[in-house]
């Protein structure tokens, strides 16, 4: 069971987007759910807002909002979903509900396996093209002030809002209170006294989870902010000795050029009305995401 679904963190995330979410414990499983009005055609560049029930984490990160100890746990979660009225989506799922609910692909997460003794060793294992890109970005960041645990004020929250508003696949918008209350890490970047970005991450389960970020788009190219932000995530993960660094969803290309690999995730759909399920069957594939095929040979072969 990942830490976000456990009671300790649940208290900090349950109303991340301003509406109270629910957590249900069963004998062999647990799930978290909330209702939201979302654009169900995000992945197809369409626009159709519907209020749906989501089995997922309220901060909308790339982890499932359920855990099952065994097959009985899956049955318990299945039974709960089937008692709900209206449209229900199970987000960021594995294959546990195959043959039970209609399935489509959703945004994959990008995960980097950490086998490096330090950040310098990580960079040294890269092929020259990728290594040069990082070195070039680092130079642009040389005058940037990096501050851990900053006062998360309105100026930083505005950077998160800027990212959210530009997102191709927005789901729910977190409140400023969520960022100040969540017991994770926030690192902010300042240039000439002004914030140009920040990242929020959490370390647990031998994993560093990259959660959210904020960016000043006017300064993005000048400082190569996003790449430097991702490099900091890698560096902090290596320093913490985690086994994996979970970069989360979206912007797959830049994350894979840092050595990350795609982890497929699924979305399951259910409606309590059989007629609606029949009508929705050819429509549900429109909710899915078509994963692109990427091939990046980032790291050197042994002996190179």
pLDDT tens profile 133-151: 999 999 999 999 999 999 9
**What is the reported pLDDT for 289?**
81
Q: Token match 């994993």: residue?
A: 207
What is the mean pLDDT of the segment spanning 149-162?
A: 97
Q: Are strands 87-93 and 145-148 parallel, antiparallel or unpaired?
A: unpaired
pLDDT in tens, 181-219: 999 999 999 999 999 999 999 999 899 999 999 999 999
Record the tokens describing residue 289, joined without a space.
């995401």
Question: 297 pLDDT band (50/70/90 cuts)?
Answer: very high
Angle made by CA atoms 272, 72, 95, in degrees to the nearest 5:
70
pTM: 0.92
Q: Indicate whether 45 pLDDT > 60.
A: no
CA–CA distance, 182 with 174 (Å, rounded to integer) = 11
Mean pLDDT of the chain: 93
**How much is the pLDDT for 36?**
86
Query: Average pLDDT of 13-42?
Result: 87
pLDDT greater at residue 48 or residue 156: 156
Mean pLDDT of 238-242: 98
Q: Is 275 helix (H, G, I), strand (E, B) or coil?
A: helix
Residue extents of the structural domains in the chain:
3-108+264-287, 110-261
Query: Which band of pLDDT confidence, cut at 50, 70 and 90, is reported for residue 38?
Result: confident
**How does pLDDT run across 101-128, given as a tens digit for each residue?**
999 999 999 999 999 999 999 999 999 9
The whole-angstrom separation of Cα 206 and Cα 193 is 35
Handedness of CA 269, 271, 274, 279 (dihedral sign): negative
pLDDT at residue 41, as a whole number: 55
User: Which contiguous run of DSSP H or E holds residue 77?
Assistant: helix 71-83
CA dist 287 and 293 (Å) reads 19
Joined together, the tokens standing for residue 102 give: 């209609």
CA dist 228 → 198, 245, 252 (Å) = 11, 16, 16
Query: What pLDDT band is residue 286 in, cutting at 50, 70 and 90?
Result: confident
Q: Give ∠ CA 116-122-126 in degrees, rounded to 5.
A: 135
Residue-wise pLDDT for 51-102, tens only, equals: 899 999 999 899 999 999 999 999 999 999 999 999 999 999 999 999 999 9
CATH match of 110-261 with 3.40.50.720: no
């Amino acid at each position: 069971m990942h830490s976000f679904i456990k009671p300790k963190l649940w208290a900090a995330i349950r109303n991340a987007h301003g509406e109270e979410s629910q957590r249900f414990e069963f004998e062999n499983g647990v799930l978290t759910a909330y209702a939201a009005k979302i654009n169900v055609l995000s992945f197809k560049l369409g626009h159709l807002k519907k209020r749906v029930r989501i089995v997922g984490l309220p901060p909308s990160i790339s982890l499932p909002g359920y855990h099952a100890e065994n097959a009985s746990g899956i049955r318990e979660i299945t039974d709960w979903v089937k008692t709900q009225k209206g449209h229900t989506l199970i987000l960021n799922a594995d294959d546990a509900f195959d043959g039970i609910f209609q399935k489509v692909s959703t945004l994959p997460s990008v995960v980097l396996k950490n086998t490096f003794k330090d950040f310098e060793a990580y960079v040294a294992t890269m092929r020259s093209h990728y290594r040069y890109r990082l070195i070039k970005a680092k130079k642009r960041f040389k005058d940037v002030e990096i501050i851990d645990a900053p006062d998360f004020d309105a100026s930083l929250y505005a950077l998160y809002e800027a990212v959210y508003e530009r997102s191709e696949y927005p789901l729910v918008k977190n409140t400023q209170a969520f960022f100040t209350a969540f017991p994770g890490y926030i690192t902010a970047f300042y240039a000439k006294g002004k914030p140009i970005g920040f990242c929020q991450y959490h370390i647990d389960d031998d994993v560093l989870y990259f959660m959210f970020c904020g960016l000043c788009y006017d300064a993005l190219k000048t400082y190569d902010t996003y790449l430097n932000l991702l490099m900091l995530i890698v560096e902090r993960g290596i320093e913490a000795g985690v086994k994996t660094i979970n970069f989360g969803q979206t912007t797959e290309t830049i994350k894979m050029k840092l050595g990350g690999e795609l982890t497929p995730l699924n979305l399951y759909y259910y409606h309590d009305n059989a007629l609606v399920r029949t009508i929705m069957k050819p429509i549900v594939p429109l909710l899915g995401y078509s994963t692109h095929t990427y091939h990046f040979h980032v790291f050197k072969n042994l002996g190179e």
